[in-house]
Structure 1
């Protein structure tokens, strides 16, 4: 147990930040999975409707990644790497068809 007021405050702050970071990271992972699933569906049947879904999911994932980077939940290189992997997944589907 902490011995000083500042240590107690630091514990509370760390817990709050941990929960916020966990929430952002979880949301990023969820949106990435949804996007990759949409890309697979688009690869199976490349229709304009599926392309629109892919674009919408990509936008949502990029937005959440950028917000996580802005709030220092993710390092900027980590965010850039995640976005590059998402773009690469779509690029591979586009080049295959």
Structure 2
């Protein structure tokens, strides 16, 4: 553990930020899994709702610096492709 007051504070603040980031990433993964689950079950309307939520969470993750913009765009493209396949059939 650090001895300097500001260093101690940094340890605490970084731990809090890490916990928030992990919680947000977990929520993001859950949203994406939910979409894929509904897509596999051919529940189009539920999948569309979850698609909107998942893409929104991906955009927020980019804004928070948790994901690179290209990584989020790639994931959104995969979700969109899966949704298009679902609605086409």
Identify the residue that residue 10 of structure 2 maps to in structure 1: 10
1 CA distance for matches of 2:13 and 2:70? 25
Correspondent of 2:70 among 77, 84, 89: 77
Gaps of 5+ in 1: 43-49
> Out of 62, 79, 86, which is 1:86 matched to?
79
Give distance in 1, aligned partners of 2:68 and 2:7.
Answer: 26
TM-score norm. by structure 2 comes to 0.87
TM-score by length of 1: 0.81
**Number of residue pairs matched?**
89
Higher relative contact order (CA 8 A, sep 6+): 1
Q: Calculate the aligned-residue CA RMSD, in Å.
A: 1.5
Q: 1:60 — aligned with what?
A: 53
Q: Distance in 1 between matches of 2:40 and 2:26?
A: 21
CA distance in 2, matches of 1:52, 1:77: 27
Q: Which runs of 5+ in 2 are unaligned?
A: none
